[in-house]
A = this chain, B = another copy of it.
Amino acid sequence: MASPDPALLSLNTATVRERWNLAQMIEGCARHGIRGISPWRDKLDELGADEAARRIRAAGLTVTGLCRGGMFPAPDATGRKAAIEDNLRAIEDAATIGARCLVLVVGGLPKGSRDLAGAREQVEEGIAAILPRARAAGVPLAIEPLHPMYAADRACVNTLSHALDLCDALDPKRSGILGVAVDVYHVWWDPELQAQIRRAGRKRILAYHICDWLVPTTDLLLDRGMMGDGVIDLKRIRSWVEGAGYRGFHEVEIFSARNWWRRDPDEVLAVIKERHAACC
């Protein structure tokens, strides 16, 4: 399989979050010829969305997503309302910086609850509540199914199939305002992956995130691998998303407390470019 177009590389800022602020990330992408960026909201808040938008535009970068909205389930109505409001602010910020989507990490079980089906209903209600604002702002919402090991505490949507069921329920006309973020780390294991990527199609695949699954994995959250260092067949999955019509960016998101977060971000970006060309 041919190497991917280097112009499609995007940096999710989580990858270098420990050593750079957003201004440095923007400069870093420009310096390394990386054309896309996907900021997290904590970094965006430091700089301010308007100033961030100005600098990102000046650097000529595409904003492949804003991370993140979601976290809908809560023990009571007050908590659920606060989550909705936070998501509306995220939609505004995403519009300000021209993000191609707002990534939704939907949230897990409310504290003290074992009602997974109930949490999933709260997620559906939450997305339904913010969808009109997303539509008005022109900010597509990308439901990101998270690996099942995060079902309790981060996201109770854990398969592409489930995420697409939500899309079908809430946006049956496939308007483009609701879709999914396909992150290989979360979905690589799924025997239905190829079929569900096909089902999603071009209209529903709003983002494509890459990294790798290490063997062994020593931490549930902060031990993701650089592309090529693990067992995910990245070329095969790319062929599936391209086969479904996806032509967007390949966003590199690596949470790695023991390795990549400790390195000089300029080195990390150089390695990302090499590995994107060789392994993805």
Contacts and interface: CB of A to CB of B under 8 A. Distances in A.
Interface in A90-108: none
Contacts of A151: 188-189
A242 B218 CA distance: 36
A109 B153 contact: no
Contacts of A109: 215, 231
A232 interface: yes
A149 B217 CA distance: 9
A140 B61 CA distance: 59
B148 A233 contact: no
Interface string A214-226: 0111101000000
A270 B109 CA distance: 30
Interface string A138-176: 000000000111011100101101100000000000000
Nearest to A157: B191
A120 interface: yes
A158 B191 contact: yes
**Tier of interface size on chain A:** 20 to 34
A152 B220 contact: no
Q: Select the residue from A189, A190, A213, A216 with max chain B CB neighbours within 10 A.
A: A189
A106 to B, nearest CB: 13
Given A114-B233, A149-B148, A152-B215, A120 B158 contact: no
A115 B233 contact: yes
Interface in A73-122: 109, 113-116, 120
A23 to B, nearest CB: 33
A217 B154 CA distance: 12
Ranked 10 nearest A-B pairs via Cβ: A151-B189, A114-B233, A148-B189, A149-B149, A152-B231, A152-B215, A148-B148, A162-B191, A114-B231, A153-B215
Interface of A: 109, 113-116, 120, 147-149, 151-153, 156, 158-159, 161-162, 188-191, 213, 215-218, 220, 230-233
